Amino acid sequence: MTLVKSSSGIRGTLGGKVGKGLSPIDIIQFAAGYVFWMKKKHKNKKKFVLILGRDGRVSSVLFQKFLIITFQSLGVDVINIGLSTTPTVGIAVMNEKADGGVMLTASHNPKNWNGLKMFNSYGEFLSEKDFEKLLYIAEKKYFNFSSYKKLGHLFYKENYIHKHIEKILSLPIIDKKIIQKAQLKIVIDGINSTGGIAVPILLKSLGVHVVKMYCDPHGDFVHNPEPIEKNLRKICKKVPDLKANLGISVDPDVDRVVFICENGDFFGEEYTLVSIADYILENQLGPIVSTLSSSHALKDLSIKKGVPYYSTPVGEIHVVKKMKEVHAVVGGEGNGGIIYPKFRYGRDALIGIALFLTQISKLDNIPLSKLKKRYSNYFMSKKKIRFFFHSHEPHEQHKRMDILLKTIKKKYKGKKMDFSDGIKIYFKFNEWIHIRKSNTENIIRIHTESPSRQRADFLSKKIRYEIKKL
């Protein structure tokens, strides 16, 4: 059983003992901790309102009931928007002027997982500092339940996905008419979660002919839900078979998006951000931000455009923080997460899709295989080491990670290194290795990149062999 607590929220596998996986008791405890963090944050308020949404996971229907009961028992009003996306919850928090929001999802993790993504009153994820306060409150159980006279109320608001999409289409940078004129045919893999609702609505609003795959949001994922090439073989085959212009795949809570070329090639999750940043920079020059694990192709784009590029530790909150500091015009992560600050400071697959379709339509419906050739060509290897942590205890994990980092640092002495998120080692010819503990699973992530596929694979195998010897 696994329970992960990080700046990306709470998530874990279902079943097992309390505190070892994501049980109903854990959900209630973290939800109560969140409410009392919120009440401490806004001490002068007497009445609080929260937005609640869920993805299509089977367990989300049940866990939603625990959250509603907990919030109402703590005197908080709940606006339940039902089946939703993570960015839609953020939009609803802003629209309703709510004090926060919770999305029931485990994002890209498999269907035996679930979790809580928690928002502040700005519709953004909690900062690291605020999240640590929440965990402390939850652990110490510093909360009191309300009397029957002060119980919270429950409200239902439907169609928030429609409101989200309407807001996207109102942006000047989105050209609905030119997309309609392009008469695109697009295959969408909705992984049987809420992307199967939201993406077709968006595409049909843009005049796109939609072919659906796995768009029934019952939560029975037919393949691993992380939108990476090895999990998307069927859509990569279907796009050329149907002579579609492209394919689109999202993760279960719709904050990441990837594209498939007209010939069935994978456009690449790293190039989602690169291509969309290119389009935004055509309209407004300014800084761009991504993470240490993102492709060097984005930095190359910044050099070509003459704008500053900044990298951060992995995680949406780190990217958003830096974007605000430098007044970035676009940012995100190489996993397909797009942040367009003129819309909202948070990853959003729907805004990413609308921006991308505007871009290719303005380029006379350029084939994606041709579009990708406009950018630097890098190859990345993304691997995991699952067996590294023999204990789920945080102090043991930190201890093992420290030993790993010290050993690797000593071995690669003389190389340029970055220690802001694990360790990133730089080599000549824009090659690098990044080793870090995952925010969402008890694993080590190892990313390597090179202009050569063989070199990227070699660097990955080499560093994994060195780690396994420890």
Residue 214 tokens read as 């796995």
Q: 95 and 33, same structural domain?
A: yes
CATH number of the CATH domain containing 409 = 3.30.310.50
d(CA 162, CA 169): 11
As a whole number, the mean pLDDT across the chain is 94
pLDDT band at residue 399 using 50, 70 and 90 as cut-offs: confident
Q: Which residue has the tokens 């080599």?
A: 427
Q: Determine the distance from the C-alpha atom of residue 198 to the mean position of all C-alpha atoms in its chain, rounded to a whole number.
A: 16
Residue 153 tokens read as 């109320």
pLDDT greater than 90 at residue 394: no
For residues 381-400, give the mean pLDDT. 68
CATH number of the CATH domain containing 25 = 3.40.120.10
pLDDT greater than 80 at residue 470: no
pLDDT greater than 60 at residue 273: yes
pLDDT at 441: 80
| Contact status, residue 231 vs residue 225, Cβ threshold 8 Å | yes
**Final residue belonging to a domain, choices 372, 406, 439:** 372
- What percent of the chain has a predicted confidence (pLDDT) above 90? 86
d(CA 198, CA 202): 6
DSSP annotation of 287: -
Domain that holds residue 146: 3-158
Q: Using alpha carbons, select from 83, 58, 87 the residue that is nearest to residue 194.
A: 83
For residues 68-97, give the mean pLDDT. 97
**Final residue belonging to a domain, choices 356, 372, 388:** 372
pLDDT greater than 70 at residue 389: no
pLDDT at 143: 84
pLDDT band at residue 395 using 50, 70 and 90 as cut-offs: low
For residues 168-175, give the mean pLDDT. 98
- 304-333 pLDDT per residue, tens: 999 999 999 999 999 999 999 999 999 999
**Final residue belonging to a domain, choices 372, 404, 420:** 372
pLDDT band at residue 405 using 50, 70 and 90 as cut-offs: confident
Q: 249 and 326, same structural domain?
A: yes
Overall domain count for the chain: 3
